[in-house]
Amino acid sequence: MTAMTVIIMILLWVLYFLLLGTVYGWTVKSRMQSLIYEIAYEAPNENFADTAVSLAENADTAMVVYRVEEKTFTLYAERQEKNGVAHLFDSADVLALYEKTTAGDSLFQEHLADALSDGPFSPSQWKGRLLSSFVTQTPAGDVYFILLDTAVLPLHAFLVLMQNQLSLVSVILLAVAAGMAFLLARHIASPIERISQKARKMAKGELAVDFTEKSYREIEELSEVLNQTTDELSKLDRLQKELIANISHDLRTPLTMIVGYAEVIRDIEGENTPENIQVIIDEATRLSSLVNDLLEISRIQGGREERKDERFDLALLAEETVERYRRLKENSGFTFTFEAQGDCTVVGDKTKLLQVLCNLLNNAINYSDRNRTVRVCVAAREGAVRLEVIDHGIGIAPENLDNVWQRYYRGERNHRRSVMGSGLGLSIVREILELHGARYGVNSVQGEGSTFWFVLSQESAVLSPERI
């Protein structure tokens, strides 16, 4: 800001002191040139003398017009002005000027002091006067010698005055600029500096920082966003720690069971029963599904996920999946029902959407209660297909409805042995649905059950044509 003020000041100084004098001189010269041509233009007219005088009067300049005959000059018209000296020229001066004028291209303009080097006037009269002279001849053969004598204001005093004023203005402007720069720095830069110090702490993993800067709207918004970020990061940090605790527990339990049962089978005769082997198989299956979830989420996190779109019937896929689950859970007392409505063809990644369906069905089974009925409904309406997985399980508390989509979130800390989730299932569902631009959500009443749903556009919005 101060630099800008200095630049403006320099420009002003240059304009005033270097250009003003020169430009002013040019302006007066060209004004007189136009005037003298205007007067000369009137020469052939009958009332030339009067017109010339009134033109000189309008321009407020001294003027003398001579009629020239054989180098004798007869005064023809005259307009005197307070400081004008043209009417004081003697015949030698007039002749000298006439010769200078005719020697050029009949217009002669010079400062009086230079035009008549040894005139009879006092220097103060000579100073600062511009002499313009012109010789014109009318068609009738009359020759007129027109002399204009104009004041060119002495700019020196004016410039000194301006210099003083400009110096004062410059000092005031610099002071104002410095003051404003200081205020701006205090109001804009300091809060930013304080915020970046805290953000640096945050980058080092210190998440307990609070952004409180509120000096102006933008900073307040930035503080708010950063506070939200620290909240999110703290939440993620906590969930991640919980996950590690949970996963190590989840990994340890099946591994202990597998080793335990295997040792029993090895060491005790008659324990090699299909039931005991089944326990080992079940635990190993749990382990592998946990590892699969972890792999899937790390793939998604790494951003390596791409959609391999195809056109397929979502209702058919859902029906087949429900049928598989029905067979799988036949003996566990689960009832699966399936309903479809309309043409449920969609464009999307079939494998990934199958995973969404499986994750939702697994949850419906895992969080079931005494009523073990699971309903899957698919319906096409207005260019979109809505799929719902409805269970009558334990439900979700209203305050946790948003959390279930969070990575690593698990409802029950001391989860039941039978529920071996990793806390990643729904976040995988969310990532896949968002990859498809689908809307999704959950309605749930604690103790009554939950409905997980998503709506997929039949003509996938973010689909490139070559992938169909």
Residue 363 CB: number of other CB atoms within 10 A?
23
450 is a contact residue toward ligand ADP (CB under 6 A): yes
Interface with ligand ADP (CB under 6 A), residue from 5, 132, 321, 363:
363
Token pair listed for 401: 């409805």
- Please identify, among the stretches 22-30, 264-272, 328-336, 405-413, the one whose residues bind ligand ADP according to the rule CB under 6 A: 405-413
367 is a contact residue toward ligand ADP (CB under 6 A): yes
Interface with ligand ADP (CB under 6 A), residue from 59, 410, 432, 458:
410
Task: Give the C-alpha separation, 389 to 412, whole Å.
Answer: 21
Q: Is the dihedral of CA 187, 190, 196, 197 positive or negative?
A: negative
CA 166 to chain centre: 39
Interface with ligand ADP (CB under 6 A), residue from 35, 55, 387, 404:
404
Question: Are residues 427 and 405 in contact, defined by beta-carbon separation less than 8 angstroms?
Answer: yes
Token pair listed for 213: 């800067």
Task: Give the C-alpha separation, 279 to 275, whole Å.
Answer: 6
325 is a contact residue toward ligand ADP (CB under 6 A): no
Considering only residues 373-402, where is the footprint of ligand ADP by CB under 6 A? 391, 393-396
Question: Are residues 87 and 78 in contact, defined by beta-carbon separation less than 8 angstroms?
Answer: yes
Question: Are residues 76 and 43 in contact, defined by beta-carbon separation less than 8 angstroms?
Answer: no
Task: Give the C-alpha separation, 211 to 215, whole Å.
Answer: 12
Residue (378 or 396) nearer to ligand ADP, CB: 396
The one-character DSSP state at 342 is S
246 is a contact residue toward ligand ADP (CB under 6 A): no
48 is a contact residue toward ligand ADP (CB under 6 A): no
Closest approach, Cβ 366 to ligand ADP, in A, equals 6
Task: Give the C-alpha separation, 195 to 203, whole Å.
Answer: 12
453 is a contact residue toward ligand ADP (CB under 6 A): no
Interface with ligand ADP (CB under 6 A), residue from 21, 44, 260, 411:
411
Q: Which residues contact 355 (CB under 8 A, 6 or more apart)?
A: 296, 428, 429, 432
Token pair listed for 319: 């029906």
Residue (426 or 438) nearer to ligand ADP, CB: 426
* Torsions phi, psi for 151 (to 5 deg): -80, 130
Closest approach, Cβ 411 to ligand ADP, in A, equals 2
> Computed over its alpha carbons, how large is the radius of gyration of the chain?
50
- Please identify, among the stretches 49-57, 65-73, 233-241, 358-366, the one whose residues bind ligand ADP according to the rule CB under 6 A: 358-366
Residue (66 or 367) nearer to ligand ADP, CB: 367
Residue (78 or 250) nearer to ligand ADP, CB: 250
Interface with ligand ADP (CB under 6 A), residue from 84, 119, 191, 421:
421
Q: Would you give the end-to-end CA distance of the chain in angstroms? A: 58
Strands 439-445 and 373-381 turn out to be unpaired
253 is a contact residue toward ligand ADP (CB under 6 A): no
Interface with ligand ADP (CB under 6 A), residue from 334, 425, 433, 458:
425
Token pair listed for 423: 């806390």
Interface with ligand ADP (CB under 6 A), residue from 135, 314, 364, 378:
364
423 is a contact residue toward ligand ADP (CB under 6 A): yes
Point out which residues bind ligand ADP (CB under 6 A). Answer: 363-364, 366-367, 391, 393-396, 404, 409-412, 421-427, 450
